[in-house]
Amino acid sequence: MKKKNTPCLSIIKKGLTITLIAAFLWPGQVFAQDTLLLSPTGDGGFENGMDFASNGWTVENYTANNTNKWAVGGASAPTQGTMAAYISNNNGTNYTYTTNQFSRVLFWRDITFPAGYTVITLTFKVKVQGEYGGTATSYYDVLFPFFQSSNTAPSVTQPAYSSSNSQPAISNATRIASLTELGTGYVTRTYTLNAGNAAAATTRRLLFYWRNDNTGGAQPPASIDEISITATMPPVNDNATGAIMLTPGAGCGTFYDNTLATANTGEPTASCSWHPTRKPIWFKFIAPASGAARISSDNGGTLISTRMALFTATDSSNYTTFNIIHCSRENGVTAAGNNIMYPTGLTPGATYYIALDVYDAATSGTVCITVDEFNNTMLSTTTADCVAGKVLDNTGAQNYNGWISLTDNQGKLNANVRPVTGYDADFSSSLTVKSGAPRTDINGQAYLNRNYLINSSDPIGTGLTSADVQFFFTDAELTNLGVSLSGLNVTRVSGTTCSADFMDGTGTNSLLTQTANGSFNGVHYIQVNTPGFSNFYIHQGTTPLPIVWNNVSVTLNRRQQAVINWSVAEKETAEYRIEKSVDGNKFENLSTLKSKGNGNNTYSFTEQTALSGKAWYRIVQVSKEGKGEYSRIMELQNSNIYGLISVYPNPATQVLTVETASNASYNIYDLQGKVIMKGNLQSGKNTLNVSGIAKGFYTIKIGDYNQKIVLQ
């Protein structure tokens, strides 16, 4: 258990100063600092002598017309020990009062509170019957505790004798309560006094004032015992100078409480939220050798609606030297209101500061912060398509432009995002992880078996020009791709819907060149700057993955002419060239179609002459800059044995249609030559259900006619 500093506190007695050192800790938890200023078993229990002075109190038993006076003794049956303070009409011999005699008497003491206290708690045992008429002017026989909360030197003025039975007032003092008709047994009374946050030690005065009139009343009068005063300071880590040092990898050993934490002058905020600084508590750690860490408040505890920020600083006592570099807002797993962040690029051996804050200043509870060095177990390796992760609420962000961690629903990292300028939006991500050999595009270019979708509630361009993104993947995935980390770049395919494979995408693609990279503990990442959020695919080289051709197909019509159809999402395209080969190697241009302009467009081209035998077709998209992107190569054959054969659509998803002029049998083969599906065809149109066949490349063979098909 961690120890806390226990400040020295002075209690001023008449002619004597006593220094007390006291603090309370619960095992495994660190709370606000409670310091006992008045002990209920010592001066507060009147156990140090038979008079008030021996116990550090001053009594004012004004003799004129006063029969009833305060006394110290054992006549009132103390709650503990042998002494108590009580009203007596015979100098303490008996615990009774004269009910028909006016009395105005009090006892008091001065207490010095330490600098920085925020709350004073007063507790005592009291019994009193007395007399109360039930109205504001019928406080007949009553005990009134007072607390002088002025920062000026306190003073006591003898209350004037008066027949008024209203609640009395004392200069520079606050009346705490009016106690009467509580019964003949002791009851406990506790009062919390918000005394502010004094910059220096302050002296305050506690008074117990008894008043009775001359109209009668009920025994017994007031008796007090076990008085205690506790001054509560903010937690030791209320400021960054008191930040708790955390050891990476040490786990969750101590829970810390933010009760009575304060918003100090100039204290920075977790600015990925619009809320101002409320009551942060501070932690710090030394960055590990890798410069990458996982910081989490998602470890249990009762404080679950929080935000967390990571800062660099050159002087912990000067908040102007603090710079926020990472922030998190409610992406926990154990409780959604907790936080997890994955900072990278830290300077090994440097000290970093963590601030955990709440949204509502009234929110208090316990929290445990852990720091661990980032490793590959903190990335998801579960094979799955388009798994949606946590939504990170960044709305109302106060011009925040640091890093944000996008995690899955198990708290594992998908990507880090950093708006280049302040950004007010929500962020979300989806992750696809594949197994086996690397995937390839239509031209055979391999791309990583992990891809990402990042979305935002406020698209880039409405206040944000771009964002930096770090994409993380495992060493095994990089090895599987067979390329160097420095040679990787990213193809961005616009759109807000997750596409598990590049071939499934429908948006416009563009190349994002890496601006940084890193490797540590079986993890790699590359960093890019993106003009928008969308699907992202990692691959080698400086050429983006080609455009996504949707429903590209070639079929024969009734005139045995080749009909090529395709649809594509265009951006800055000049034209399309349709090319044909009779040997599958050398292609010649058939025709050119002008682009219809940016957006999703559909095209069709019919070859003028009838197809004889077999041919291969492809489409070339030519950009306005003169660069070309090729579609996949499509094979088509005109069979003389079975007359006209037409197979469409190609690619197909659920259903493949085959038209033939005569009855025939068919086989569908995979790339290894294995028969996947077979059957008989009738003359005319036949519908084949291919929904049960895995996505991929296949060949359909009808007699000596064969055609490559794509199922997706």
Contact 208, 167 (CB under 8 A): no
Q: Report pTM.
A: 0.63
Work out whether strand 139-148 and strand 202-212 pair parallel, antiparallel, or are unpaired.
Answer: antiparallel
Per-residue pLDDT reduced to its tens digit, 424-470: 678 889 999 999 999 987 667 889 999 999 988 765 545 567 889 99
504 or 651: which leads in pLDDT: 651
Per-residue pLDDT reduced to its tens digit, 195-215: 554 445 677 888 899 988 888
**Residue 201 pLDDT:** 63
Tell me how far apart the alpha carbons of residues 12 and 229 are, in angstroms, rounded to a whole number. Answer: 14
pLDDT bucket at 101, cuts 50 / 70 / 90: confident
pLDDT of 62 > 80? The answer is no
703 or 15: which leads in pLDDT: 703
Q: What's the whole-number mean pLDDT along residues 685-690?
A: 92
Tell me how far apart the alpha carbons of residues 465 and 472 are, in angstroms, rounded to a whole number. Answer: 23
- For the ranges 27-31, 496-500, 521-525, the maximum mean pLDDT occurs at 521-525
**Residue 34 pLDDT:** 74
Classified as helix, coil or strand, 240 is helix
DSSP conformation letters of 399-444: S--SEEEEE-TTS-EEEEEEESS---EEEEEEEEE--SSPEE-TT-
Helical (H) or strand (E) element with 707: strand 705-711
pLDDT above 90 coverage of the chain, percent: 47
698 or 514: which leads in pLDDT: 514
pLDDT of 648 > 80? The answer is yes
Of 241-255, 358-372, 695-709, give the lowest mean pLDDT range.
695-709
**Residue 466 pLDDT:** 84
**Residue 13 pLDDT:** 31
pLDDT of 422 > 70? The answer is no
How far the first Cα of the chain sits from its last, in Å, is: 60
Of 408-412, 437-441, 705-709, give the lowest mean pLDDT range.
705-709
- Token look-up 């750690």 returns 285
Q: What's the whole-number mean pLDDT along residues 136-164?
A: 67
Per-residue pLDDT reduced to its tens digit, 464-498: 678 899 999 999 999 999 999 999 999 998 888 89
Tell me how far apart the alpha carbons of residues 140 and 508 are, in angstroms, rounded to a whole number. Answer: 87
Q: Is the N-terminal amide bond of 651 cis, ω within 30° of 0?
A: yes
Per-residue pLDDT reduced to its tens digit, 538-565: 998 877 666 666 678 888 887 888 999 9
**Residue 388 pLDDT:** 93
Q: What's the whole-number mean pLDDT along residues 354-370?
A: 91
Contact 237, 225 (CB under 8 A): no
**Residue 411 pLDDT:** 95
**Residue 275 pLDDT:** 81
What the block records as the tokens of 121 is 């708690």
What the block records as the tokens of 252 is 């969750």
**Residue 380 pLDDT:** 92
Q: Report the 10 Å Cβ neighbour count for 86.
A: 30
In sequence order, which residues have a C-beta less than 8 Å from that of residue 265 and are 6 or more positions away?
none
Contact 118, 225 (CB under 8 A): no
